[in-house]
Amino acid sequence: MKEKTLSQIASLLGGEMEGDGSIKICGVAGIEQAKPGDLTFVANPRYKKLLKTTKASAAIVGKDIEKSPIPLIRHPNPYFAFSKAIQIFFDYQKTYPEKIDPTCIQGKNLKLGRGVFIGPFVVLGDDVEIGDKVVVLASCYIGDGVLIGENSFIYPNVTIREGSVIGKDVIIHSGAVIGSDGFGYAKESGIYHKIPQVGKVVIEDFVEIGANVCVDRATLGETRIGKGTKIDNLVQIAHNVKIGENCIIISQVGISGSSQIGKNVTLAGQAGMVGHIKIGDNVAVGAQSGISKDVPPNTTIFGYPAREIKKAKRIEACVSNLPRWAQRIKELEEKVEKLEKEVNLQIIKGG
């Protein structure tokens, strides 16, 4: 069991110690699951009250927490600090020796860097180049002419098709397909004819791609994923899409062909985009939004069709009131009908 004092952990995290720094910490846990000896954290203000009841021995917090019954490590970004604390207590990523499994199928002109690990039943095509300390686990397919940068990690059953370029320190999870054909057809005489997809995919450095993600190759040119972008499971990225640096793309997002996404964009779960539109830098898109036109920078949008967030909330409030308004209209119609009958009756009597 790994064990460190709280003050040692504070020093490793670059945090400010408050309380008894000599207490022993032997693990990390969520604030509601923690037990004595655990270090926990509070990043969301709604969990502040749980500091009074948690069984954790200490917590990582931000500057907004004034008092606590347990010792604290203060850090400007408690969630990030907690992620570093996890690495103190868990060897969460196995290390691999330099090795090519004998079941690996190797193409011609293969270039491998130092410290590369190639697992069982991997297929490496012709003219593949793999940088130093790359790990490719079991049953991956790496097509002809693929380039993979140093320190990248490819989980089992990943397909990287011909001509794709993978940067350094890239992580690709199981079931992902990089460089699948873009969805392009031309209709002639009532029949759909396939348009050859002869471009490529470029994944820049420090990108992480989740399980079962599909990134289509370009029809011509390239589909590009910018440096530092993180992509959740089950995302579809179509041909010729350009995604900027440090974007967050959450599960089940669909991005249609030739769309361009700026830097620091967040696409929440199940958001969808039509093709050939542009999303500016620092845009946030709410879950299940449908984006049908360009979005200017520094905007938060939501809804279907997606609108600026304040306008979308006003519309949503109106929609929620529709049953009440419908009942009110029905009541008014009944009153008007009653009044009309009374007026008509008076006219007849007066006549």
Q: Which residues are catalytic?
A: 239
27 φ, ψ (degrees, to nearest 5): -175, 175
255 φ, ψ (degrees, to nearest 5): -120, 115
Count other C-beta atoms under 10 Å from residue 321's C-beta: 11
207 with 231: CB under 8 angstroms?
Answer: yes
Coil/strand/helix, residue 326: helix
Whole-number CA gyration radius for the chain: 29
Q: How many residues does the chain have?
A: 351
Count other C-beta atoms under 10 Å from residue 207's C-beta: 25
Element (H, E) at 243: strand 242-243
The angle, 0 to 180 degrees and rounded to 10, between the axes of the packed helices 78-89 and 6-13 is 120
Which 8-state DSSP code applies to residue 221?
A: S
155 with 122: CB under 8 angstroms?
Answer: no
